[in-house]
């Protein structure tokens, strides 16, 4: 089963400095029938104006993955971590027992990110932060695991959830496949381009909520970049 969520139908808000679209209920957008997809709780499509951002604020008991589509985001937190994550890179924060962080666009152009929240397998624990480059050429034509709670995904950023976040870039006509247990909750969003997923067209920034599918066949209808979450 694949449920399409067109970008134009997503909830959202325009704060001037931040233009946000919410795939699931978030902040002032509340829909009790759309609270997440399995352990996937948040998928925000954020556009952050130059020299603005999110001032320091707290989180706990959440795995927060930031996929940078364009520009760069500069992170700082209460553990003393600082870092700049640019397009093609991914950062992960395990909020654990509690952390405060800020995220700013210090670039001269708009930064565009996917912000993904996944509920952890267990609560508490020491908070952590990390970032890693994932060059688009290295994931051309194949799904690469970017963040994962599975030990076998040794090259991915670690998260504390029974989930993985994957990405790929596909040239028009290329196909990538992904196998998963039919009980898992899969969610796919093209950052750019358009793809066909098991016969369903998914355009740029649309969401596709997937259940009861043992295999995904993803075919690019045009040059595309996409992110896929596989969660409990």
Please, where are the H alpha helices in the chain? none
> Look-up: residue for tokens 């963040």?
147
Report the chain's mean pLDDT, rounded to a whole number.
97
Residues 12-23 have a mean pLDDT of: 97
The predicted model gives 66-82 an average pLDDT of 98
Tell me the residue range of the domain where 61 lies.
Answer: 2-231
Nearest alpha carbon to residue 160 among 69, 75, 93: 93
Q: What is the CATH number of the domain that holds 221?
A: 2.60.120.10
Q: What is the mean pLDDT of residues 137-147?
A: 94
The residue among 132, 127, 130 whose CA lies nearest residue 79 is 127
**End-to-end CA, the chain:** 16
pLDDT score for 204? 98
- What proportion of the chain, given as a percentage, has pLDDT over 90? 98
User: For 126-148, what is the mean pLDDT?
Assistant: 95
Q: What value does the mean pLDDT take over residues 58-79?
A: 98
Residue 24 has pLDDT above 90, yes or no: yes
Please report the pLDDT score of residue 137 as a whole number.
85
- Give the phi and the psi of residue 24 in degrees, each rounded to 5: -135, 165
DSSP state letter for 191: E
pLDDT tens digits along 97-122: 999 999 999 999 999 999 999 999 99
Describe the strand order of the beta sheet including 185-192 as a list of residue ranges. 2-5, 207-210, 185-192, 224-231, 164-170, 144-148, 157-158
Confidence at residue 136, expressed as pLDDT on a 0 to 100 scale: 85
- What is residue 5's predicted lDDT score, i.e. its pLDDT? 98
| pTM (predicted TM-score) | 0.97
Domain count, the chain: 1
Token pair belonging to 24: 């699931």
Percent of the chain surpassing pLDDT 70: 100
C-alpha closest to that of 189 among 28, 14, 32, 37: 37
The pLDDT tens digits of the residues spanning 81-102 come to 999 999 989 999 999 999 999 9
Strands 128-133 and 52-59, sheet pairing: unpaired
């Amino acid at each position: 089963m694949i449920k399409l969520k067109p970008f134009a139908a997503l909830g959202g808000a325009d704060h001037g400095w931040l233009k946000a679209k919410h795939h699931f209920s978030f902040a002032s957008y509340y829909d009790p029938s759309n609270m997440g997809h399995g352990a996937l709780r948040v998928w925000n499509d954020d556009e952050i104006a130059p020299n603005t951002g999110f001032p320091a604020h707290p989180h706990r008991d959440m795995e927060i993955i930031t996929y940078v589509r364009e520009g760069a985001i500069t992170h700082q937190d209460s553990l003393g971590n600082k870092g700049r994550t640019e397009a093609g890179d991914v950062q992960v924060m395990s909020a654990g027992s509690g952390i405060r962080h800020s995220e700013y666009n210090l670039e001269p152009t708009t930064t565009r990110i996917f912000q993904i929240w996944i509920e952890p397998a267990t609560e508490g624990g020491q908070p952590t932060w990390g970032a890693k480059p994932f060059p688009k050429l290295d994931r051309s034509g194949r799904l690469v695991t970017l963040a994962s709670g599975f030990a076998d995904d040794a090259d991915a950023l670690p998260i504390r959830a029974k989930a993985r976040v994957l990405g790929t870039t596909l040239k028009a006509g290329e196909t990538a496949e992904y196998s998963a247990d039919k009980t898992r909750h899969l969610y796919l969003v093209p950052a750019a381009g358009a793809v066909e997923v098991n016969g369903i067209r998914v355009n740029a920034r649309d969401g596709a909520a997937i259940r009861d599918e043992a295999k995904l066949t993803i075919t690019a209808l045009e040059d595309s970049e996409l992110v896929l979450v596989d969660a409990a």
